[in-house]
C-alpha cells in the first residue's frame, strides 16, 4: 500500500458557512430592532349598535402642504388653534376634532396637531380619502 505524496493540504478555509451565519444574525438583528420601534398610541373607537342621537360640536383642522393650519376653513397659528380648541372643549366636553392632512404635507405638523388634541384631552379622528379622489 502506497501513500500518495502529491496530496496537498488545504491552503484556504471555506468561509461560506461563516458568512451564512453572519447574514442570518444580521437579518435577526434588523428584525428585532425594527420590531421594538414605538409609534403613536391611538385608541380606536368601538362600534355601537345603537345610533347616536346626540349632536356634538365638530371642528375640522386641515394641515396644508405649506404647513399652514386651518380650523373650519380659517387660517390660525398653533397658539390660536390651542385656544379655540380649549374654548370649544369647555363649551362641549364631548366635542371632537377631525384632522385632515394634505398628501403633500410634512407629517410632523399633523403629529403636532395630534399631540395638541391629546394634551387638551379632545377626541379626534384622522380624515382619509381614497387615492385618486
Domains of the chain: 58-126 (3.30.420.270)
Please, what's the largest Cα pairwise distance for the chain?
104
Alpha helix (H) residue ranges in 2-104: 16-35, 78-91
* Alpha carbons 44 and 51: distance in angstroms, whole number: 18
Q: What is the pLDDT of residues 42-68, one digit of tens each?
A: 777 777 666 666 677 888 898 888 888
Q: What is the pLDDT of residues 85-124, one digit of tens each?
A: 898 888 888 888 888 887 788 788 888 888 988 888 888 8
Length reported for the chain:
133
35 grid coordinates: 420590531
Q: What is the pLDDT of residues 15-47, one digit of tens each?
A: 888 999 999 999 998 888 876 666 667 777 777
* 3-state secondary structure (DSSP) of residue 69: strand
The pLDDT confidence band at residue 127, using thresholds 50, 70 and 90, is: confident
- Reply yes or no on whether the pLDDT at 132 is more than 80: no
* Alpha carbons 34 and 11: distance in angstroms, whole number: 41
Q: Give the residue among 84, 90, 91, 87 at the shortest CA–CA distance from 69.
A: 84
* Alpha carbons 103 and 130: distance in angstroms, whole number: 11
Residue 106 has a pLDDT of 79
Residue 34 has a pLDDT of 75
* Alpha carbons 123 and 99: distance in angstroms, whole number: 11
Residue 20 has a pLDDT of 93
Amino acid at each position: 500500500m502506497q501513500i500518495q505524496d502529491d496530496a496537498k493540504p488545504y491552503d484556504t478555509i471555506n468561509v461560506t458557512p461563516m458568512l451564512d451565519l453572519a447574514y442570518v444574525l444580521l437579518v435577526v438583528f434588523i428584525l428585532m430592532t425594527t420590531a421594538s420601534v414605538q409609534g403613536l398610541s391611538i385608541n380606536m373607537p368601538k362600534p355601537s349598535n345603537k345610533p347616536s342621537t346626540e349632536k356634538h360640536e365638530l371642528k375640522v383642522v386641515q394641515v396644508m402642504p405649506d404647513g399652514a393650519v386651518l380650523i373650519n376653513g380659517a387660517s390660525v397659528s398653533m397658539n390660536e388653534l390651542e385656544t379655540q380648541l380649549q374654548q370649544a372643549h369647555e363649551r362641549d366636553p364631548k366635542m371632537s376634532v377631525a384632522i385632515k392632512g394634505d398628501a403633500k404635507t410634512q407629517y410632523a405638523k399633523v403629529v403636532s396637531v395630534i399631540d395638541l388634541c391629546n394634551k387638551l384631552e379632545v377626541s379626534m379622528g384622522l380624515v382619509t380619502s381614497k387615492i385618486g379622489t
